[in-house]
Amino acid sequence: MATHGTEIDLRAIVNGAGLLAAGANVIMQLARPGVGYGVAESRVESGRLFDHPIKRTRTTLSYLAVAMLGSPEDKAAYRAAVTVAHRQVFSTPDSPVRYSAMDPKLQLWVAACLYRGFEDVQTALGGAMTEAEAAEIYRRSHTLGTTLQVRESMWPRDREAFQRYWDAEMTHVHIDDTVREHLRHLVELSYLPRAVGAPLAAFNTFVTTGFLPPEFRDQMHLRWDARGQRRFDRLMRTIGTVSRRQPAALRTFPFNYLLWDVRQRIRKGRPLI
């Protein structure tokens, strides 16, 4: 990991192999009912994953690329674009829970899940960090929220404070039948054309289940055992070994490409999301 003093090259943790944990991270985010129903009931048709899987995946991964690797100008442009969409996502009188995609507390939860995902991927792939490196990466991860409406002061002060925040927020986690059904389509890839989704469904279910913390796994009614954990650990160690031997440009793909794409869109005046 490249460092200079306490300065961390965030490309060291923005790893393309982390996409294996994407499904688990979405489940964690949507396990907060306000987020889950905001996605399940979204009226922004162009941003719905099941209707536009390629576009939605691109915009989500582009957000991560901008939040972690982008310049202040990149972040400002992407924040403005996402805000336009988020202003259209809010509960109606018929919604079982009240929510707004502009709620900074819900956005903080999403950002916290993204950070937790980076941490879990780093651990699973066997990437060793010193305490100083881990603390600096955590501090700079506030951009996962501040690239939206989260104020930097809302980001827990350090990793210990983050753990206290996480433990407290876990009391609000609940996946009901409606959100669970929505997420099962994500896990089983049933929203993709059958020729694409069917061959990958079992593998995606396996890695998604493996990356989920037990509390989320239980709420999704996903089975897991010690044998599955051993298989998962072996697979992740192998992927981590291969990943660490790759050139930085290849290891960071597709996030480096997506950041380039965002900058091209900004330069040409094309939509970002």
Query: Domain tally for the chain?
Result: 1
The winner for highest mean pLDDT among 40-44, 132-136, 145-149 is 145-149
Report yes or no: 154 and 145 within 8 Å, Cβ to Cβ: yes
How many Å apart are CA 142 and CA 118, to the nearest integer?
13
Tell me how far apart the alpha carbons of residues 123 and 116 are, in angstroms, rounded to a whole number. Answer: 11
The pLDDT score that the predictor gives to residue 137 is 87
Kindly tell me the burial class for residue 131, based on how many C-beta atoms sit within 10 Å of its own C-beta (0-12, 13-18, 19 or more): exposed
Instruction: Decide if 99 is inside a domain.
Output: yes
- Per cent of the chain over pLDDT 90 is 75
> What is the extent of the structural domain holding 67?
3-268
Contacts with 167 (C-beta within 8 Å, 6 or more apart), sequence order: none
Mean confidence (pLDDT) of the chain? 90
Model pLDDT for residues 78-90, shown as the tens digit of each residue: 999 999 999 999 9
In a domain, 273, yes or no: no
**Residue 223 falls within a domain, yes or no?**
yes
Global pTM reads: 0.90
Q: Given this model, what pLDDT does residue 178 score?
A: 94
Cβ atoms 86, 201 nearer than 8 A: no
Q: What are phi and psi of 4, to 5 degrees?
A: -140, 100
Residue 168 in domain:
yes
Query: Do residues 11 and 252 lie in contact, with contact meaning Cβ atoms separated by under 8 Å?
Result: yes
**Confidence category of residue 8, pLDDT binned at 50, 70, 90:** low
Backbone angles phi, psi at 93, to 5 degrees: -60, -20
What is the pLDDT averaged over residues 19-31? 95
The amino acid present at 141, given as its one-letter code, is S
Residue 239 lies in a domain: yes
